Structure formats: structure tokens, C-alpha cells
Amino acid sequence: MAIRDIIALLVLAGIWGGSFIFMRVAAPEFGIYVLVAIRTVLATAVLLPLLLIRGSVKDIKRHWLAIALVGMANTAVPFVLFNYSSLHLEAGVNAILNATAPMFGAIVAWLWLGDKLTKSAVAGLFVGFVGVTVISQQKLGEGDISFLP
């Protein structure tokens, strides 16, 4: 991996990780829905010019309903839920729970789309969920027993 790729990965990790800290601080101040609106308006302000430059606006006009449904399911609803949870959980716990999204994606693909789960995928899901449980169990207030030293 080139140094440029490593730097890009670190910047991306900082942006992603920072968003949970931002939500934890901003959600009580602005409110859940206002914060979601701010995030989506800022994203639109950045991405819309790129769409115009690429000439992709006609694709949006053609597929607007599908884009709106995917946007609601994959962006708006999770934004609202993560902003709500940031009122009650620490930013680190929120980030850990967000990291489970690929695991839930694999389970949904298996249940609804008929994707095959190999033995190694099942083992990976098990280890992933156990890891998330071990890391977050104290933070979520589930008892006094700790799995960690």
C-alpha cells in the first residue's frame, strides 16, 4: 500500500470517527432532526456540483424514486437513529455499533437475498458479534462482570 493510500485511509478514519463525536456534542444542542438536516444539506452542497460537472442530473431525473427510497433507508433513517442514540450513548459505543453494519448486511443478504454464508463467514460473524459484545458490554450498563482486565 502506497503512503498516499495510507494517508487517505487515516483521513477517512478521522472523518468517520469524528462524526460520532460531532453527533454526541451537536445532537443535544441542535436537536436530532435539525442535525440530520444540516448533515444532508452540507452533503448536498458538496455532491450536487459534482453531479452537475459529470452530467449525471438526467440519471437522477430518471431514477428519482429509487434514489429517494434508498436515500431514506440508507441515510436518513440511520442518521436519525444514530443522532438519537448519541443522546444516550458515548461516541465510542456508537462508533462500535456502527461498525456492525457489514455484519448485519451479511445476515440480511443471507435471509432475504439467498446469499450463501460459508463456514468462515459464519465464524467471522460470530467472532465479530462476540467482540462487539465484549467491548461494549460495560459501556451499555449490562452488569458488573467484565470480560476485559
C-beta neighbour count of 37 within 10 angstroms? 14
The pLDDT of residue 16 is: 81
User: Residue 38's domain spans which residues?
Assistant: 3-89
Query: Does residue 94 fall inside a structural domain?
Result: no
pTM of this prediction?
Answer: 0.69
Rounded CA separation 7/10 (Å)? 5
The reply to whether 11 and 52 lie within a common domain is yes
The reply to whether 72 and 119 lie within a common domain is no
Query: Residue range 1-21: average pLDDT?
Result: 89
pLDDT tens-digit map of 112-140: 999 999 999 999 999 998 888 887 776 55
The pLDDT of residue 26 is: 92
The pLDDT of residue 139 is: 56
Find the Cα–Cα–Cα–Cα dihedral 112, 118, 122, 127, rounded to 10°.
Answer: -130
The reply to whether 109 and 68 lie within a common domain is no
pLDDT tens-digit map of 37-91: 998 899 889 988 998 898 888 888 888 899 889 988 888 898 899 999 999 888 8
Query: Does residue 112 fall inside a structural domain?
Result: yes
If one compares 127 and 18, the residue with the highest pLDDT of the two is: 127
pLDDT at residue 149 above 50?
no
The pLDDT of residue 55 is: 85
Going by C-alpha positions, the residue among 142, 122, 124 that lies closest to residue 133 is: 142
The reply to whether 122 and 85 lie within a common domain is no
pLDDT at residue 148 above 50?
no
> How many domains does the chain divide into?
2
The reply to whether 77 and 116 lie within a common domain is no
